[in-house]
Amino acid sequence: MFYKLFIFVVCIFTTSGSSVQYDKQTQNLRTFPSDFFFGTATSAYQIEGAWNEGGKGWSMWDHLVRTDPDHVSDGTNGDVAANSYHFYKKDVEILKELGVSVYRFSIAWPRILPYGRADYVNPEGVAYYNNLINELLANDITPFVTIYHWDLPQNLNEQGGWLTAEIADWFGDYSRVLFENFGDRVKHWITINEPYIHCSFGYASGSHAPRIKSPGVGFYECGRNIILANAKAWHIYDKEFRATQGGVIGITLDSTMAMPGSNSPDDIQGAADYMSFYLGQYADPIFSATGNYPQRVIDLVAEASRRQGLNESRLVPFTQEEANNNKGTSDFFGLNHYSSTYVYRNSSVTGIYAVPSLNDDLQVGTFPDPNWYKNPAAWVYRYGQGLRKLLGYIKDTYNNPTVYITENGFGTATERNDTDRADYYREYLNGVLDAIDDGVNVKGYCAWSLIDNFEWAVGYSVRFGLYEIDQNDPEKTRKPKYSALVYKEIVRTRSVDPSYNPDLPTDASMNIKSSFLVVLVVAVLNIIW
């Protein structure tokens, strides 16, 4: 009798509450199609660390945090970050733990080409990414590789960076080096991450590297050169590597979903203009039949330029030759999405800015729905149907391309009990299921982000990771948050169960449970003896 009691008690206390829920069969829940993948995403500067190791050159972010360290709000930088350069196997271990089949990561341009150009390839950089790619494949995880995620070599930045047309050739040469070294195993390439954010924050507001403030001129030049660089890399892959390597290559664009603030014609047009500027400015040259900017964008910038006394538009449309070269230069539509907004026409902004800008060209105001949830730590409002509407917009506007959601996530503070992030994932993945029911050709989803990372100008004050990284821990231990357990169950069941509520495995609770178990076992054995 006492023996049976002992076995019963041990079984109870060695079985976590979450495992009972984990094995529960979901009933009457929609499931994702069998060809839909789940993954997570990161970027090189945000997690790798080893900023001056392994033959790596300086990026423009390395330069920024050395010359103006106070620019990052919490005084941190990416010098060490999650130290994934040394701990990449830990990243693969938690990817395996989550059960995802895809890992989207970026390659640091200055780690491969320390001086920016392809005349010298760093063998240590090549070895690092070979090791990471091989480790992923050994664990049945597909690498989705982003060629450029904002860490331009400082040498190239000093030669004009994204404001010079030469960068398309530099980017093409860099891309070729990656195809040559990794294309035998990497079959999914993303050329450039988020042109709008990169150009807006880096070349308009100056909040990101290289901190250029040229909102009405440099902003558009940056975007134009990114589109040309994307086309350059796509054609190189298509002509030189596709036949032998058999992969796909595309671009990732970001977009908020804009909806009219009222039923007035002005607000309806304002929301349409917003989408044309924020998404269409980069999507139309690649995914439309024209290969050029939306005509509405061309017209509004030209009109504003004339109003400002300029003899020509600040936005230079593509030539016919360039437009023909742009068309179709993405095999899929990579989409990053975080939040939505309402838009109203606001002509009162005309002329109030000190310099020309997109805001002056667009002339709209925005506001969120007061019912949308927002964590105080970040800028993201939770509205999952916004993603459904955005996917429907892409379907209707760009002839229903294959869409990969390459980033979607929610920023919080440092706590591991991040139920609001878990709710965000549930709500947005339900929006994806709705979009699939609507006929959208969306084939995959990558949560941003796998681990807490350096969040650019706000450092570590905002965390997007499924796993916590303690910046004071030299081992950079990866600890799952509540959201990681929820996402793991979504991946396992391929469905979104709103009732799934796992126990967070905190160190304290595990220690209490273990101590109690030891005391109980000793007591039972004393009774037996």
Contact 466, 454 (CB under 8 A): no
Nearest to 146 by CA among 235, 273, 44: 44
DSSP state letters, 290-303 = SSS--HHHHHHHHH
Contact 98, 466 (CB under 8 A): yes
Cis geometry, peptide bond prior to residue 18 (ω within 30 degrees of 0): no
HSE-CB for 215 with a 13 A CA cutoff: 14
Choice among 407, 427, 468, 489 that is catalytic: 407
Structure tokens at 437: 């029911």
Backbone angles phi, psi at 378, to 5 degrees: -140, -175
CB atoms within 10 A of CB 23: 8
Residue with tokens 């989705």: 144
Nearest to 126 by CA among 142, 140, 113, 141: 113
CA distance 333 to 341: 22
b/e 289-321 (16+ beta carbons within 10 angstroms → b): ebbbbbebbbebbbebbeeeeeeebbbebbeee
Contact 212, 206 (CB under 8 A): yes
Rg (CA), the chain: 25
Contact 45, 109 (CB under 8 A): no
CA distance 381 to 374: 5
CA distance 297 to 295: 5
CA distance 18 to 21: 5
CB atoms within 10 A of CB 282: 25
CB atoms within 10 A of CB 349: 15
Helix (H) or strand (E) holding 45: helix 44-47
CB atoms within 10 A of CB 61: 27
Q: Please give the angle made by the CA atoms of 167, 250 and 157, to the nearest 5 degrees.
A: 20
Q: Clarify whether 312 is annotated catalytic.
A: no
Nearest to 210 by CA among 175, 177, 163: 163
- Looking at the DSSP assignment, which residues form a beta bridge with residue 334? 252, 404
Q: Measure CA 358 to chain center.
A: 23
Structure tokens at 230: 């994307």
Instruction: Find the helix packing angle between 507-528 and 2-13, rounded to 10°.
Output: 180
Sequence-separated (6 or more) residues with CB below 8 Å from residue 2? 524, 527, 528
Residues catalogued as catalytic: 407
